[in-house]
Amino acid sequence: MKKLLLVCALFFGGCSDIWDYPLSKYCDDGDAQACHKLSESYWFGGKLMIKYLTKACDNGHYEDCFSLGWGYHKAQHGAKQDFAKAREYYEKGCNGGEYKSCLNLGNLYYDGNGVEADRSKALEYYEKMCDNKGGDGCYTLGAMYYHGSNVEQNYTKAIEFFDKMCNDGGVRGCSVLAEMYKNGTIVKQETAKALAYYKKMCDNDDGGGCFTAGYFYEQGTGVKQDFVKAREYYEKACEKRYRSGCVNLGVLYENGKGTKKNIAKAHEYYEKACDNGSKSGCFNLGALYFNGKEMEQDYTKAAHYFERSCDKENGEACLFLGDLHYNGKGVEQNRQKAKEYIAKACELNHEDACKTYEDISRKIEN
């Protein structure tokens, strides 16, 4: 049996239907998923892949209609380029709600491939893409209007489709609009509107949206300054593993803003951020131990966290680490090593590090 399978694979590009008999039977009986599975077993392309993609498409597996359309459009999957067949299968996919089929069908009409060029028809399919998919389809259409790609540039239309995506729960649509209103790009700058979109992002489980909403409240950007609200949004961001949210939450607890001052809580959130790769989280932990503010001063732990932060290219952490090595606090005194850390801080454009490096270099030489 093994020998026969090997011969089949070597000389015929894959095993015949007999080896897939149960799936073949289900496929012949109209099971679209079985046909799709069979097409996947011929991933290298060829007549059998086309055969099963066709059966899957005909039985309502519309993603395979797109795959067939793409195959005939771009001469993929072992199919010869045939724009008429590409249009046929894109139409099936699009009518079945497969948004990429609508996009590519629109492209055929836009470019006049296999059909007479018709920009209005192309636009009809681009809009259908948005209707079919909502999120991703609307984002693509919004981007097309924004850049004037295959359609006449129209910022109003772009905003309309980004907004539709956002209202359908698509974070990318909210994000684009938030940045537009924040920076005054193609719209009048309105920080209150930007904040509303960041809040929508947060409501749709996006940590970055929660963080930025918190930052707006902390800074009083487009809204009355409110540290309690800032803390609430930073908490949401931190829960979603957005590191900067944990850092800023720690800062609020350290300074008693929007909450009762709590150094243990600040430590908890800095540590969470640090463990998730935040250089600021590691630095702030190091600073807590370095300063011994309402907790036991511990230069050894300070050096540990400054080193982790310095390794992540935080210039200030490198400068502090250099100071600890220079004075032998928490680490064995090593002035050459101190010089290296301070040089790194200077390379990272820390404001005071280059002058410190020159001073230390002179002292070591003397």
d(CA 323, CA 337): 10
Separation CA 165–CA 171 (nearest Å): 8
Output the pLDDT for position 32: 93
Is 222 a residue whose pLDDT tops 50? yes
pLDDT band at 10 (very low <50, low <70, confident <90, very high): very low
Q: Which domains does the chain have, with CATH numbers?
A: 218-276 (1.25.40.10), 281-366 (1.25.40.10)
10 CB-near residues (< 8 Å, 6+ apart)? none
CA 291/CA 349 separation, integer angstroms? 24
Report CA-CA distances (Å) from 53 to 62, 148, 321: 10, 34, 62
Confidence category of residue 133, pLDDT binned at 50, 70, 90: low
pLDDT at 293: 80
Residue 16 has pLDDT above 50, yes or no: no
Amino acid sitting at position 349: N
Please give the Cα distance from 289 to 284 (Å, whole number).
9
CA–CA–CA angle 319, 312, 246 (5° rounding): 100
pLDDT, tens digit, 9 for 90 and up, residues 102-129 = 989 999 998 899 899 998 898 899 888 8
Q: Which residues contact 216 (CB under 8 A, 6 or more apart)?
A: 191, 194, 195, 198, 222, 223
Q: Which residues contact 245 (CB under 8 A, 6 or more apart)?
A: 207, 210, 211, 214, 233, 234, 235, 236, 237, 238
Q: How many whole angstroms separate alpha carbon 49 and alpha carbon 82? A: 17
Helices marked H in 97-170: 99-111, 119-133, 135-147, 155-167
Residue 3 predicted with pLDDT over 70: no
pLDDT band at residue 17 using 50, 70 and 90 as cut-offs: very low
pLDDT over 70, % of the chain: 93
Q: What is the mean pLDDT of residues 302-320?
A: 97
To the nearest whole percent, how much of the chain has pLDDT over 90?
75
Mean residue pLDDT of the chain comes to: 90
Pick 40 or 135 by higher pLDDT: 40
Average pLDDT of the residues in 193-214: 97
